[in-house]
């Protein structure tokens, strides 16, 4: 009987893609996936530590998963990802049930670590920096659940040092993946039936700056678009300071680049932006957005916002609401500031009480609800290009529009993996439905 693994992933798309790569490594070792952790020989948690909440979730899951040892004393429990990196041995002390732990830097060392853990040692391999052989990771294929849309990590780490953020600590300095290695993976994915390529990095717009002969992120967009079979391209996450005009031009010129952009602004007040060390002002952000909207018609914008950063006053917060009101994002991801150990904002004076954060969050979400109500009505009667990627109860299919909205249609399974034009009949803030009027590719 082959060995089985169960993997649970927290956090961002980068972490999700790391889990897909870990699954590829485990596959190469002969492991099979299972959805039932009680059946597993290896339980892995790929963790996040961006805010306090995910930290707690990991501990409570470990409390549950440790029961596996009663059934299967040889089972191994491992923790990977950002919390492992940040908390290290402190986490093992809190949860001695952990047999195995590694950084995002050394996922490719997993086979040796599993061997050590199986031999009865605590296999804890947390590195301060990426090892020399980090690129070996790309030699493993990913194992994905989505047949038609695939993430491709193009960039690791972040050099930005925003004062609230733990990522530079957990993922290290910016390292761009080579163009050759990226294109090679994209080709393999397309050969495997993938239509949509989603380029990933904590700060994807900085791609190529660290090469001996620097390249620009827009160069990467053009190169990926030249690969036969790439029907759609998305990317996350860009930083407003690196979001240069050539990227706007490339987005406008390349037909496969989706009509959506996620560009976090985090806060509207210039004083808070400065304390966050974001490197732009409110008006600079809005100017950039205006430029993007002018050049790319009907682009769907989304953003990340933090409320209650230390010293944030009511007046500061009103600037955040003002940005939301003026830009009219199609989606916002908003978070209450969560002090992260080891970051400059952790012990800044003027921490904002939780009830104030909660109140601001609620007002922000109410405003967005109102805006979304207006935006979604505008979709009704329009024709949207949708990549159908899954079935939904019975004879319905679902997929995403280029503007990143879920759309459901009636149709047979032969349409799966196809891009179709859909006339939108009904539209609510998070999904739409309509009728297929043309099958494109």
Residues in contact with ligand 5AD, total (CB under 6 A)?
Answer: 12
CB of 410 to ligand 5AD, least distance (A): 36
Cα distances from 228 to residues 183, 185, 223, 318, 401, in angstroms, run 11, 13, 11, 47, 21
Please, what is the minimum distance in Å from the beta carbon of residue 14 to ligand SF4? 5
Binding string, residues 149-178; x marks residues near ligand SF4 by CB under 6 A: -----------------xx--xx-------
222 or 335: CB nearest ligand 5AD: 335
Nearer to ligand 5AD, 272 or 397 (CB): 272
81 interacts with ligand SF4 by CB under 6 A: yes
Closest CA relative to residue 272, chosen from 303, 318, 226: 318
Q: Does residue 303 contact residue 259 with C-beta atoms inside 8 Å?
A: no
Q: Read off the DSSP letter of residue 102.
A: E
Dihedral sign (CA 262, 336, 79, 41): negative
Q: Is 225 helix (H, G, I), strand (E, B) or coil?
A: helix
| Partner in contact with 22, chosen from ligand 5AD, ligand SF4, none, beta carbon below 5 to 8 Å by kind | none
Tokens at residue 47, please?
Answer: 């963790």
Return the sign of the alpha-carbon dihedral for residues 360, 50, 216, 234. Answer: negative
Residue 82 interaction partner, one of ligand SF4, ligand 5AD, none, beta carbon < 5-8 Å per kind: ligand SF4
Q: Which of residues 106-165 bind ligand 5AD (CB under 6 A)?
A: 164-165
Please count the other Cβ atoms lying within 10 Å of the Cβ belonging to residue 7: 21
Residue ranges in 140-253 assigned as alpha helix (H): 167-171, 179-191, 217-225, 245-253
From residue 362, alpha-carbon distances to 221, 295, 371 in Å are 37, 33, 14
Give 19 or 266: the residue with its C-beta nearer to ligand 5AD: 266
Q: What percent helix, strand, coil does the chain show, rounded to 5? A: 40, 25, 35
Residue written as tokens 């953020």? 165
Nearer to ligand SF4, 116 or 202 (CB): 202
**55 versus 385: smaller Cβ distance to ligand SF4:** 55
State the minimum distance, in angstroms, from the CB of residue 333 to ligand SF4. Answer: 11
Whose CB is nearest to ligand 5AD? 304
Minimum Å gap between C-beta 103 and ligand SF4 is 11
Give the residue, chosen from 25, 48, 194, 376, that forms a contact with ligand SF4 under the rule CB under 6 A: 48
Structure tokens at 248: 């706007």
Do residues 406 and 400 touch, judged by C-beta distance below 8 A?
Answer: yes
Q: Evaluate whether 221 touches 184 at the Cβ level (below 8 Å).
A: no
Could you tell me if 329 and 368 are in contact, meaning their C-beta atoms sit under 8 angstroms apart? yes
Residue 137 CB, nearest approach to ligand SF4 (Å): 16
How wide is the angle at C-alpha 155 spanned by C-alphas 214 and 269, nearest 5°?
A: 95
| Binding at 15: pick from ligand 5AD, ligand SF4, none (beta carbon under 5-8 Å per type) | ligand SF4
Task: List the structure tokens of 49.
Answer: 């530590």
Q: Is 94 left (phi over 0), alpha (psi -120 to 50) or beta?
A: alpha
Interaction of residue 337 with ligand 5AD, rule CB under 6 A: yes
Please state the closest distance from residue 84 (CB atom) to ligand 5AD, in A.
18
338 binds ligand 5AD (CB under 6 A): yes
Minimum distance from residue 277 beta carbon to ligand SF4 (Å): 17
Residues 117 and 119: their CA atoms lie apart, in Å, by 5
Task: Report the residue number, 50 or 233, with the smaller CB distance to ligand SF4.
Answer: 50
Tokens standing for residue 53: 């909440």
Q: How far is the CB of 91 from ligand SF4 (least distance, A)?
A: 14
For ligand SF4, the binding residue among 82, 260, 397, 415 (CB under 6 A) is 82
Q: Which residue has the tokens 């004062």?
A: 163
Cα separation, 170 vs 337, in Å, equals: 18
Please report, as residue ranges, which positions from 257 to 296 form the binding site for ligand 5AD (by CB under 6 A).
264, 266
Binding flag, residue 169, ligand 5AD (CB under 6 A)? no
Least distance (Å) between residue 215 CB and ligand 5AD: 25
CB of 334 to ligand 5AD, least distance (A): 8
CA torsion, ordered 354, 357, 358, 360, to nearest 10 deg: 160
**Span near ligand 5AD by CB under 6 A; candidates 55-63, 186-194, 330-338, 374-382:** 330-338
> Site residues for ligand SF4, window 4-23 (CB under 6 A)?
11-12, 14-15
User: How many other CB atoms are there within 10 angstroms of residue 259's CB atom?
Assistant: 17
Which of ligand SF4, ligand 5AD, none does 384 bind, CB closer than 5 to 8 A by kind? none
Residues that bind ligand 5AD (CB under 6 A): 50-51, 164-165, 264, 266, 304, 306, 335, 337-338, 340
Residues that bind ligand SF4 (CB under 6 A): 11-12, 14-15, 48-50, 81-82, 166-167, 170-171, 202
């Amino acid at each position: 009987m082959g060995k089985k693994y169960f993997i649970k992933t927290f956090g961002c798309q980068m972490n999700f893609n790391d889990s897909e790569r870990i699954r590829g490594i485990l596959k190469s070792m002969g492991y099979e996936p299972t959805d039932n952790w009680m059946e597993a020989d290896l339980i892995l948690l790929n963790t996040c530590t961006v805010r306090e909440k995910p930290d707690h979730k990991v501990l409570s899951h470990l409390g549950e998963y440790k029961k596996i040892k009663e059934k299967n004393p040889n089972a191994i429990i491992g923790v990977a990802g950002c919390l492992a990196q940040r908390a290290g041995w402190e986490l093992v002390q809190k949860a001695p049930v952990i047999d195995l732990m590694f950084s995002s830097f050394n996922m490719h060392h997993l086979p040796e670590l599993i061997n050590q853990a199986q031999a009865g040692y605590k296999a804890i391999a947390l590195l301060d920096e990426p090892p020399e052989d980090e690129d070996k990771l790309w030699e493993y294929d990913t194992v994905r659940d989505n047949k038609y849309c695939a993430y491709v990590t193009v960039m690791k780490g972040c050099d930005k040092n925003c004062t609230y953020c733990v990522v530079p600590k957990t993922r290290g300095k910016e390292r761009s993946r080579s163009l050759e290695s990226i294109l090679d993976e994209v080709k393999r994915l397309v050969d495997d039936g993938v239509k949509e390529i989603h380029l990933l990095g904590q700060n994807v717009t900085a791609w190529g700056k660290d090469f001996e002969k620097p390249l620009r992120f827009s160069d990467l967009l053009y190169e990926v678009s030249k690969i036969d079979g790439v029907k759609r391209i998305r990317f996350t996450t860009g930083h407003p300071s690196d979001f240069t005009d050539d990227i706007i031009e490339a987005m406008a010129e390349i037909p496969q680049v989706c009509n959506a952009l996620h560009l976090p602004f985090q806060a509207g007040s210039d004083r808070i932006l400065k304390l966050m060390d974001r490197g732009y002002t409110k008006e600079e952000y809005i100017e950039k957005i205006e430029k993007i909207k002018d050049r790319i018609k009907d682009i769907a914008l989304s953003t990340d916002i933090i409320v209650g950063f230390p010293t944030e006053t009511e007046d500061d917060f009103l600037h955040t609401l003002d940005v939301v009101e003026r830009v009219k994002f199609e989606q916002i991801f908003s978070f209450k500031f969560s002090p992260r150990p080891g970051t400059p904002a952790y012990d800044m004076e003027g921490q904002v009480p939780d009830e104030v954060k909660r109140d601001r969050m609620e007002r922000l979400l109410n405003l967005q609800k109102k805006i979304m109500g207006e935006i979604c009505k505008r979709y009704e009667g329009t024709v949207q290009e949708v990549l159908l990627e899954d079935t939904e109860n019975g004879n319905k299919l679902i997929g995403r529009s280029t503007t990143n909205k879920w759309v459901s249609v009636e149709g047979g399974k032969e349409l799966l993996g196809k891009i179709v034009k859909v006339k939108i009949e009904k539209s609510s803030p998070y999904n739409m439905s309509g009728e297929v009027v043309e099958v494109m590719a």
